[in-house]
């Protein structure tokens, strides 16, 4: 997890932003997971814990600066994934 935190800090600093504990924690969890995570999944993984409002603000900020993007699925749960260099990519969901 330390590597994910270092990578998260570097990514945040690459957009000329402050690498706050909340931002680094959320982005590190997304990097570590390697798959889209819901708000709840991230909140369960973060230590020390964040309050929900702070987490929502961090997700919105990550999306605004292009470090993460929303993945909407058929179960109506919004998940977030780390944005990679390619702006165009697909998300597949198995239905069987």
Q: Is the pTM of this model over 0.85?
A: no
Question: For residue range 62-92, what is the model confidence (pLDDT) as tens digits?
Answer: 999 999 999 888 888 999 999 864 344 454 5
CA distances from 23 to 60, 61, 89, 95 (A): 11, 9, 24, 33
**Residue 31 to residue 88: CA distance in whole angstroms:** 19
E strands present in the chain = 37-38, 68-72, 78-82
Question: For residue range 26-63, what is the model confidence (pLDDT) as tens digits?
Answer: 999 999 998 999 999 999 999 889 999 999 999 999 99
Rg (CA), the chain: 13
Cβ atoms < 10 Å from Cβ of 78: 13
């Amino acid at each position: 997890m330390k590597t994910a935190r270092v990578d998260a800090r570097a990514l945040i600093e690459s957009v000329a932003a402050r690498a706050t504990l909340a931002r680094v924690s959320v982005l590190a969890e997304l990097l570590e997971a390697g798959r889209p995570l819901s708000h709840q999944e991230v909140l369960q993984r973060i230590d020390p814990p964040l309050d929900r409002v702070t987490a929502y603000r961090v997700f919105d900020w990550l999306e605004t600066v292009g470090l993460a993007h929303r993945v909407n699925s058929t179960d109506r749960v919004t998940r977030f994934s780390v944005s990679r260099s390619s702006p165009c990519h697909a998300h597949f969901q198995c239905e069987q």
